[in-house]
Structure 1
Amino acid sequence: MPASASWRHRRFCSDRLLPGDCAAERAGAWVAAHPGLSLAGSRCVTAAEVPALAVAEVAPGVFVHTGAVALASPENGGDIANLGFVIGQDAVAVVDAGNTRAIGEALYAAIRARTDLPVRWLILTHMHPDHVFGAEVFREAGARIVASDRLPAALGARAESYVAALERQVGPVSALGSRLVLPDQTVTASETLDLGGRALRLSAEPTAHTDNDLTVRDTATDTWFLGDLVFDRHTPSLDGSVLGWIEVLRALAAEPAARVVPGHGGPVLGWPSGAAPTAAYLAGLVAETRAALDAGESLGAASRHVGADLADGWQLFDDFNARNATTAYRELEWE
């Protein structure tokens, strides 16, 4: 039976869930490990008492929560990324942990509503905050955190700015208790996790959306979690290499799959058709950036118009396109 405890930070108070056995000393140890919080009380709860994320079973034993296609805000509590889990005969593996500890707790509750099997692994598809801030919940539940071998350095380089931004984006109550943790094991090329009766194949990809993208394929149902290598409806966000991303999508498209789970939108897409909008946007961004460079435009001038005609079908376009254009310009100016 897990414990539910109320934590105070300045004048804000919120309940937080501690997975595992209910013991009073665990609450004290947890708050001691989270500076700035104080314990206001604790109690034992059943899994049924914990609000759970809504999930859909997209294939037998494969569940996906669809995040909002939106910027993180107090209204949505930062719930903007797709998250999932796969249930085997012996264990559960989780794919991405959400933007806050509260989201990670709600995902854990959704798992416990469907199985009592141990949560053995949490797999992070890349280091962006909306996919990783809930990870500590699963470590407390006994899971090993798995990620690309390039994620620790990438996350470490931005940890301070990510933490500083979280409360500003989602509000102090939603952010309460959230902190970043590093993986327990990393993947350099590929690795297979055995859940009992089904295997997950993990592949570290070349630099694309980020320099630490990791894909997860459930071989039992041929369901492929692609993280933010594929966007649906949500404008793609470039934080790695635009040329590398195009090449990674080309390589992945050559491999058949029954369905893919994108990092945003969906929750499932056909394959390889599901990658076509993302690939087309990136190709257009490259073509327009090269034209701007050939015309001798400065970065400032190019970023104001490159990609502006690619908005059709994408949400949050004005929030991401200029940033993408800037990143593409800085990469392609050295061709």
Structure 2
Amino acid sequence: MRRPPGHAAAALAVLLTVAATADAAERAVEPLPVTEAAPGVFVHVGAHEEADAANHGDIATLGFIVGAEAVAVVDTGGSPHIGQRLRAAVAAQSDRPVAYVINTHMHPDHVFGNAAFPEAQVIGHHALHAALAARFAIYRDRLAESVGDEEAAALAPLRVDVAVADSLTLDLGDRELLLTAHPTAHTNNDLTVLDRATGTLFTGDLLFVGRVPSLDGSLRGWLRVMDSLNGPEVARMVPGHGPVQDDPAPALAAQRRYLEGLAAQARRLIAGGGGLMQAQADLAPPDDSDGWLLLDDYHGRNVSAAFAELEWD
């Protein structure tokens, strides 16, 4: 079990000193709005939009968990500015130090606010660091194009201090978090966070609600991982996009319908004998009875990824 790096009094004083230096920045920005999904579990739901200068990359669901000794932040938002607003939201709810930043996966809308928490240990899947390093320059350039040069200039290469190979338990002080590293699914570096005190599971982008799922890993793997998410210890889920699900079953079922429909569509295109370019030319939108947002932006990319994965089945 891992305890906060500030568990000893002297180390905790260092953490508090570092946190105090951010007070001015916290006061200078408006805190992100959060709701208390369960006692001590706070959640912010970003917009179902693409990142742009107006929303500063605030398009993901973020949160933090408050223990007796420390706070753990789960994902930090799509820009340094959103990270600062999240830090201000933490300060508005608790005077305990932020000991950990937990990144559920590599995508920019979940990690580009990390710099707002320099004193925290950054924890992620064992494949997270390599995935971030491989795409950092691309992601930074996209941030400059979508949100602005100033936000991109504030980024630094993203570090991972603690890599989770299987599972890890964190103790925030009378509050344990179970972190689980999953096989390739939405990405090859998906990590979930279970607050054992309340049964709240932060799924990252293993669960989308409202906004269409995006495939950047393995379609078959994602469907397999979904089978393991809704265990008896889970009372609610915090998805990577969309609101908290006190009854996760309907949202999981909707996502499964989409992913299974995606697989069926890709297999039909493969069976037709054409290549990927022909498949894209003949692409028809799916029967979208679940009303996914941003379907036109992501479904074509999802078909390409599914086609490439399933072509040699």
Fold match by TM threshold 0.5: yes
Are 1:177 and 2:177 counterparts? Answer: no
Task: Describe the superposition over 1:260-287 as per-residue Cα deviations: whole angstroms up to 9, x where unpaired.
Answer: 0010111335223321111110000111
Contact 1:159-1:180 at 8 Å conserved across structures: yes
CA contact (8 A) 1:203 1:214 kept: yes
Aligned residues of 1:199 and 1:219 also touching (Cα < 8 A) = yes
Matched, 1:164 2:141: yes
Contact 2:140–2:152 under 8 Å retained in 1 = no
Give a deviation string over 1:169-214, Cα, whole Å, max 9, x none: 1123444512331110110000000011111000001100000000
Unaligned runs of 5+ in 1: 1-17, 24-43
SS in 1 for 2:306: helix
Evaluate the alpha carbon distance shift between residue 276 and residue 307 of structure 1 in structure 2; reply closer, same or farther with a 3 A threshold: farther
Query: How much has 1:87 moved relative to structure 2?
Result: 0.3
Cα distance change, pair 108–297 in 1 and its aligned pair in 2 (3 A): same
1:120–1:223 Cα change, 3 Å: same
Aligned residue-pair number? 296
Amino acid at match of 2:306: A
| Offset of residue 48 of structure 1 | 4.2
1:113 aligns with 2:112: no
Contact 1:132–1:180 (CA<8 Å) still a contact in 2? no
Query: In structure 2, the residue corresponding to 1:311 is in which secondary structure?
Result: coil
Q: 1:77 to 1:247 in 2, by over 3 A?
A: same
Residue 334 of structure 1 pairs with residue 308 of structure 2: no
Q: Which position in structure 1 is the counterpart of 2:292?
A: 314
- Cα separation, 1, equivalents of 2:110 and 2:18: 19
Q: TM-score, normalised by structure 2?
A: 0.90
- Find out whether 1:202 has 2:201 as its counterpart: no
Which residue among 235, 256, 260 is the counterpart of 2:212? Answer: 235
Gapped regions of structure 2 (runs ≥ 5): 1-16
The equivalent residue for 1:103 is 82
Cα drift, residue 51 of structure 1? 1.4
The CA RMSD measured in Å over matched residues stands at 1.9
Whichever structure has more strand as a proportion of its residues is 1
SS of residue matched to 2:286: helix
SS in 2 for 1:146: strand
Matches for 1:24-173 after TM superposition, within 5 Å: 45=24, 47-138=26-117, 140=118, 142-173=119-150
Distance 2:177 2:192 in 1: 10
What amino acid sits opposite 1:179 in the alignment? A
Other structure's SS at 1:20 match: helix
Structure scoring higher RCO (CA < 8 A, sep ≥ 6) equals 2
Does structure 2 conserve the Cα–Cα contact (< 8 Å) formed by 1:191 and 1:201? yes
Q: Which segment is superposed worse, 247-256 or 117-126? A: 247-256
Deviations along 1:82-136, one digit per CA (max 9) or x if unpaired, are 1000001111000001111111111000000111101110000000000011112
Match of 2:266 among 254, 277, 289: 289
